[in-house]
Every structure is written in structure tokens, then in C-alpha cells.
Amino acid sequence: MKAVLFEKFREAPKVVTVSDPTPDPHGVVIKVEATGVCRSDWHGWMGHDSDIHLPHVPGHELAGIVEAVGKDVVNWKRGDRVTVPFISGCGSCPECHAGHQQVCLAQEQPGFTYWGSFAEYVMVHKADLNLVALPESMDFATAASLGCRFATSFRAVVDQGKVSAGQWVAVHGCGGVGLSAVMIANAVGANVIAIDIDDRKLALAKELGAVAAINGATGDVPEAVIELTRGGAHVSLDALGHPVTCFNSIQNLKPRGKHVQVGLMLGEHTTPQVPMAKVIGKELEILGSHGMQAHRYGAMLDMIISGKLDPSRLVGDRISLEDAPAALMNMDRFQSIGATVITSF
């Protein structure tokens, strides 16, 4: 099969021919029809993830068709249209038994712990636990964005932030995760403030339901949010993963507000400054959010099918596998609007 491979961190990946994967007894091989290019992939290419062993094929936001099925798989067959959370649970640890596959103690991640979906085919472990059936009406490019950015935002807003109608929600960073969070928070009735340094992304955020937009390059972001909300946000998300956006997200909260850290904090950003005096004095909650379990996709998919959510609006550039190396290396420049998706292999 064709795949994007890098042999050294921070050196240009290449499109090469490698051996086709085969399913293990509980796994499947998926023919990749679409896969997103995510900032997490860029972190992996930069060498920020200790799970990656070289040479490596990146890619974790994927959708496609089941091509081959392991002998012990019960619920899936060749030809099924599927996607998969970027975290695959083991099914055996205490967290998996409690339904928390997103923090599985022995988790697998395509594109990180093993070769991923920047390829014609990808193998997924524990298929009966981790695969998600796709609605026939959903195109693969849209479905690919569900596995990381959109599903991650859904859990961050709904399950971790517990956002409800009438609350003020601040979203710091309007990339794929942030724009997804804007749409989802708006759908559940919140008043959303979008923050970014790119006016084009802010304009799209307003189209997706944000009631206000703040350009973070032009002034004091927490002060602006507190003024707009008359006291601070009930829930605030750092959807980028940067010391500045993390600090601002905590600082712009009202008393007893919730900060949800969604953007990865890796490399030189692993220890951001936290205004701990405010966390204590205002009884703030600091929450992490890391993906979403396969069994929670039903609620999200129901909202998509009913028309309350439309992740297709977040699909940006559609590129070929040959274009993927350049797209991956440029992820830190924040140029694209919406999710870049590989759709041609």
C-alpha cells in the first residue's frame, strides 16, 4: 500500500510503498477513504510523543470501509462503513470496565502507538469495542473529522464542561477543535464567545453560532470576556494548547467556573503558568478532556442526523496523499480554515 512515512523526527515525510496490514484476531483492517490532518499529528512528527517509534506512519482521524476482519470479531463484517475514536481501549483494564475507554490504562492509538491512517489501509485493534458505524448519509470526509476534533469537542463541552442553555462559554482557539466546540456549545443553547488571532476563523465561528468574537492579538482577552459576560464565563475551553490560551481561559472565568483543557500541551508547553490564587479563591474547576469513547458516539451522531450539528461545515481543504507531507509540516502555521482532510489516495 501507499503511505506517508517519516524516518526521523522533523525531517520531511515521504509517500512510499509499504506492506499491507493484516488484522489480529480481535481487529479489522480498514480501507481508508478519508483521514484528517491534525495538529496532534504535527506534535508526533516533531517528536513530542514518546509512544512513536521510527519509522512511522502518522494519522488518527479516519473513516473508511472494513476490508478484512479478524477471526474473533463478532459485530463487524467486510464492507461496513466505520470510523473509530483516536483512542482504542483494551477492554480489560478497570477504566475500560467502567466505560472510560478514553483514558484506558493500556490504550492504543493509530498514528501514535502503531502505524496510522496516512495510508491506503490501517489496522484497528479490539474492533468490537472501538469501531463506530457511520450513517449512510454521512460522507467520509465529514466522518473523518469525528474521530478526534469533533468527538473530542463534544465530550469537552457536553460531558466534561456540562454546558447548559444560557451559560456563557469562551472558546480559545478556532482551529478544528475550537470551531467544533463553538458549534456544539451553541447547539445546546450556550452563549459562545470565540477567541483567535485570525479574523477569518473568527468570522467562521460567528457563522457557526458564536455571539461574539475577540481577536486575541488586539488586547486583554480575559478582561474582554469578563466585560462581555458581565462577570466571566461559566465554562471556558483552551482548544489550542498554548500557555497563553490556557492562562487566559482560566483567568476569564466567573467564580466557580470551569476550565476545560482540550488542546494538547506538549514539548516546551507542558508546564503552563496557572493563576492558582484565582483557582483557589474563586473555587474554579480545572478539567482535562481526552477524546471520547465509542459508546458515546450515539448521542453525537443523533444530533448530527437530526440537523442540530453539521460537522460537514468544518471540513476545509480536501487534499491527496501526495499533498499530506507538506500539510503535516505546516500545521504549526495555523493557515487552514476548518479541517484539512486527505480524500485521495
**Nearest one of 281, 185, 276 to 234, comparing CA atoms:** 185
Residue pLDDT, tens place only, 94-115: 999 999 999 999 999 999 999 9
**C-alpha separations of 14 from 2, 31, 84 in Å:** 10, 20, 25
pLDDT at 298: 96
pTM for the full predicted model? 0.91
Residue pLDDT, tens place only, 265-283: 877 888 898 999 999 999 9
Inform me whether the pLDDT recorded for 332 exceeds 80: no
Q: What is the mean pLDDT of residues 198-208?
A: 96
The Cα angle at residue 22 between residues 16 and 23, in degrees rounded to 5: 135
Highest mean pLDDT among 135-149, 300-314, 325-339: 300-314
pLDDT band at 146 (very low <50, low <70, confident <90, very high): confident
End-to-end, the C-alpha distance of the chain in Å comes to 10
pLDDT band at 287 (very low <50, low <70, confident <90, very high): very high
pLDDT at 335: 62
**pLDDT above 90 as % of the chain:** 89
Inform me whether the pLDDT recorded for 63 exceeds 80: yes
pLDDT at 237: 98
Average pLDDT, the chain: 95
The answer to whether 201 and 175 have CB atoms below 8 angstroms apart is yes
Inform me whether the pLDDT recorded for 227 exceeds 90: yes
CA pair distance 316, 86, nearest whole angstrom: 20
**Nearest one of 231, 168, 164, 160 to 195, comparing CA atoms:** 168
Higher-confidence position of 38 and 127: 127
